[in-house]
Structure 1
Amino acid sequence: MAFSRDPLDELVVPDGTEAKEVDLVTDGDVFVGARSTVEFGVRGRNVLAGESVAFGGAIEAEGDCRLDMWCDVAENVLVGQDAYIGERVHVAGEMKVAGDLDIGDDVEIEEGFEANGWIVIRNPMPTIVFLFVYLKHLLLIGEDETAQQLVSELVDDDEQADVEPLVIPKNATVSDDAWRVSTPATIGDDCRLHGNVRAETIDVGENTTIFGSLRARGDVAVDDGSRIHGDLTTRDGNVTIEGDARILGDVSCADLEIGPDAEIDGTIRADGTITMGTTERDPE
């Protein structure tokens, strides 16, 4: 996993991510920036959350789980390896940790906790804050290789090295109603999400289904085979709809580029030009 800038300056939904009933499910790691609200539960490999993050469901981490101070979890926390819990964290359910548990002061776990390894009760360093401040400092001084090595040691292994993490930037709101961020948003291939997406720019991969609208200040792109069950609107940007993507709603933008088999079920409002793609014929 390579970083060329602050790793929490973009919403990244990796390939294959699904909103299953009350959980966000992904194959890789989950990073959540400080002061974000995630009204879903999350299921992934390692789960790392910054200060004052609120989860509306359970956390299931196959690997480690790190929750910085003032985090709130509405249900259980189940951890396959080690857990690091900052001070004043609140868990409404129970916590079960297969490995070691490092837990801070004034932590409330309403239904109790258990760990198969060591249990250390103290004030652990706010690991997520430290991690991303240190990473940002390395990137600012041009130490890209050192930053890459640090991230690889913390979150990568041989089986997961090529799996992109789910990244929710700081101050974001993610729910069944809306995904609201003030950053660009990249949604991968073969995803299935619920909620309106609000971001600076939006890039949707192939064969993804979103049950909600897309709205951005800048450009929006929807790749081949994807379905958007709602309107697509930009304030100042252009829209590209590739291949046979389908928008089940209105489209409003500056310039519009439509693929050869793309469909728009609603009204088109384009202040600039509209470019219609053509299907390429195989040479005889």
Structure 2
Amino acid sequence: MAVRSDPLDELVVPDGTEAKEVALETDGDVLVGARSSVEFGVRGRNVLAGENVEFGGEIEADGDCRLDMWCDVAENVLVGQDAYIGERVHIAGELKVAGDLDIGDDVDIEEGFEANGWIVIRNPMPTIVLLFVYLKHLLVVGEEETAQRLISELVDEDGEEPETEPLVIPRNATVSDDAWRVSTPARIGDDCRLHGNVRAESIDVGADCNIFGSLRARGDITVGPKTRIHGDLTTRNGDVTIAEDARILGDVSCRALELGPEAEIDGTIRANGEITMGTTKREDE
């Protein structure tokens, strides 16, 4: 995971992420910023959520799970290692922890909890807030190597570079089957399958994706090779780039448009600027 000035300044959907009917599934970690609403459940390695995050389904973490204060989970929380639950968290189902449980005051777990390790009742420090404040301090004083080492230790206990980058949902985001709404740039990796319209500052979609919804951004929109967008592409002030063999099942509205070889648009094109079309190697010959 690369160090940036703010670890939550971008929506990041890693390669291979799939939005199923009940959950977002990824092989890596899941980081959710404060005051966000995730109407799915989530399944990942480590799950970390800031203050006042709402989850509409079950949380499954193969590793650790950290929920800061005032989080709300509509179903069960199942944790493969340790759990850190902040004060006034509400879990509508049950909490099962394979390791240790660190739990704050006024936590409401409707169907009870169990832990195989130590149970400590206190107010765990808001881990997401502490992490980001500390990272910002390290970057301000020029300790980029220390910041990168801290992130590596958090996302992989062996200190090795993780195979999959985290699924990152910024602060104040809304993620649902209807729409993914963020006020930051959005980056979607390769081989992803998502349901819902994507609304962001700018949008970059990787290769071989299927997105069942429209893309709308203030800035540029990029669609990778062999990706299918089942909806419109609209940008207020940016350009649209559609790579080779991608297909847009809707209209495209933009400033300038670049079409790769064999890219298809099934709807209407509205471009204020230049439209350029790539050619195949055979056509170039």
Whether these two folds match at TM > 0.5 is: yes
Aligned to 2:105: 105
Aligned-pair distance for 1:31? Answer: 0.1
The answer to whether the aligner puts 1:71 opposite 2:71 as a matched pair is: yes
Aligned to 1:3: 3
Aligned-pair distance for 1:162? Answer: 2.6
Aligned-pair distance for 1:132? Answer: 1.2
The answer to whether the aligner puts 1:152 opposite 2:152 as a matched pair is: yes
Query: Which runs of structure 2 are paired with 1:83-102 in the superposition (5 Å)?
Result: 83-102=83-102
Q: For residues 74-123 of structure 1, what are the alpha-carbon distances to aligned partners after superposition, in whole Å with 9 as ceiling and x for unaligned? A: 00000000000000000000000000000000000000000000000011
Query: Which runs of structure 2 are paired with 1:224-239 in the superposition (5 Å)?
Result: 224-239=225-240
CA distance in 1, matches of 2:165, 2:260: 28
TM-score by length of 2: 0.97
Aligned-pair distance for 1:2? Answer: 2.1
Aligned to 2:198: 197
Q: For residues 141-174 of structure 1, what are the alpha-carbon distances to aligned partners after superposition, in whole Å with 9 as ceiling and x for unaligned? A: 2211111111111112457613100000000000
Q: SS where residue 281 of structure 2 aligns? A: coil
CA distance in 2, matches of 1:257, 1:77: 45
Matched residue count: 284
CA distance in 1, matches of 2:168, 2:86: 20
CA distance in 2, matches of 1:226, 1:162: 23
Query: Which runs of structure 2 are paired with 1:1-284 in the superposition (5 Å)?
Result: 1-157=1-157, 161-281=162-282
* Uncovered stretches (5+) of structure 1, i.e. residues with no partner: none
TM-score by length of 1: 0.98
Q: Percent identity?
A: 82
Out of 202-211 and 128-137, give the one that drifted further.
128-137
Q: SS where residue 194 of structure 2 aligns? A: strand
Out of 45-54 and 160-169, give the one that drifted further.
160-169
CA distance in 2, matches of 1:258, 1:123: 54
8 Å Cα contact 2:152/2:161 also seen in 1:
no
Q: For residues 7-61 of structure 1, what are the alpha-carbon distances to aligned partners after superposition, in whole Å with 9 as ceiling and x for unaligned? A: 1000000000001111000000000000000000000000000000000000000
Aligned-pair distance for 1:282? Answer: 9.7
Amino acid at match of 2:210: T
Amino acid at match of 2:47: V
Out of 211-220 and 137-146, give the one that drifted further.
137-146
CA distance in 2, matches of 1:5, 1:206: 27
CA distance in 2, matches of 1:97, 1:60: 10
Provide the aligned C-alpha RMSD in A.
1.3
Amino acid at match of 1:235: R
CA distance in 1, matches of 2:70, 2:271: 46
CA distance in 2, matches of 1:282, 1:274: 18
8 Å Cα contact 1:28/1:160 also seen in 2:
no
Q: SS where residue 162 of structure 1 aligns? A: coil
Q: For residues 226-257 of structure 1, what are the alpha-carbon distances to aligned partners after superposition, in whole Å with 9 as ceiling and x for unaligned? A: 00000000000000000000000000000000
Aligned-pair distance for 1:4? Answer: 2.8
CA distance in 2, matches of 1:4, 1:282: 42
CA distance in 2, matches of 1:29, 1:92: 23
